[in-house]
Chain A
Amino acid sequence: QTVVTQEPSVSVSPGGTVTLTCGLSSGSVSTNYYPSWYQQNPGQAPRTLISTTNTRSSGVPDRFSGSILGNKAALTITGAQADDESVYYCAFFMPSISWVFGGGTKLTVL
């Protein structure tokens, strides 16, 4: 069974840059897994930030960017703001036509 690994918690200073990563237990991440990223605030539905590795969804500020870093998918926030404090989930599309989600990273801005 494929496991997706994310940092449980990360902190960043206001105005700083932070990178969250997302790995696959089965090996290296590539664009073929169509990495996507979602932001979720307490009591709310997830909001789609990034699809197909690095495509920002409509209305998502350009301080959010997606990439492949080494053998992982990555979400970078450049110039973090207080309202970026949230839980971030990544997901991969698997060849078997299924999706696996990471356990989420709680981002603290302080």
Chain B
Amino acid sequence: QVELQESGPGLVKPSETLSLTCSVSGVSISSSIYYWGWIRQSPGKGLEWIAIIYYSGNTYHNPSLRSRVTISVDTSKNQFSLRLTSVTAADTAVYYCATIPWYYYYMGVWGKGATVTVSS
């Protein structure tokens, strides 16, 4: 079955760049039926969609984060990644990666989440 696993540093200093990778198993990231996405959840808060990417490199971003977000895909490693620049304490959150079955437009399979704290 499809499984996703987030990885990356759990602590990032303010003004630096947050980098996370999502490793995909059970399906090729080049599958035509999925986009691949990042969603985050700040402590005690709700869910916020960040960005999605297709294996070809086509992307869509949350407008509120667009200027700081880069999402990329590595088909050779079956992974996709998130970079968030100029982080502040407001970016402290659990970051989830997920499948986005295209034409159905929902978050299908979720990773377990990676906790990222922004602190000096």
Q: Taking beta carbons and an 8 Å cutoff, which residues of A are in contact with B?
A: 34, 36, 38, 44-48, 51-52, 55, 57, 89, 91, 93, 97-104
Contact = CB atoms under 8 A, between A and B. Distances in A.
Contacts of A55: 104
A99 B110 contact: no
Interface in B96-112: 96, 101, 104-112
A46 to B, nearest CB: 6
B107 A45 contact: no
B96 A45 contact: yes
7 nearest CB pairs, A to B: A93-B105, A36-B106, A51-B106, A34-B105, A99-B49, A101-B47, A45-B110
Interface of B: 46-49, 60, 62-63, 96, 101, 104-113
Contacts of A51: 101, 104-106, 108
B104 A52 contact: yes
Given A89-B46, A99-B49, A46 B107 contact: yes
Contacts of A45: 96, 110-113
Given A36-B107, A47-B110, A101 B60 contact: no
A102 to B, nearest CB: 7
A38 B113 contact: no
Contacts of B112: 44-45
Contacts of A38: 47, 107
Contacts of B47: 38, 46, 89, 91, 101, 104
B31 to A, nearest CB: 17
Given A46-B107, A52-B104, 14 more contacts: A34-B106, A38-B47, A46-B110, A47-B110, A48-B110, A51-B105, A52-B106, A89-B46, A91-B49, A98-B49, A98-B62, A99-B105, A101-B47, A101-B49
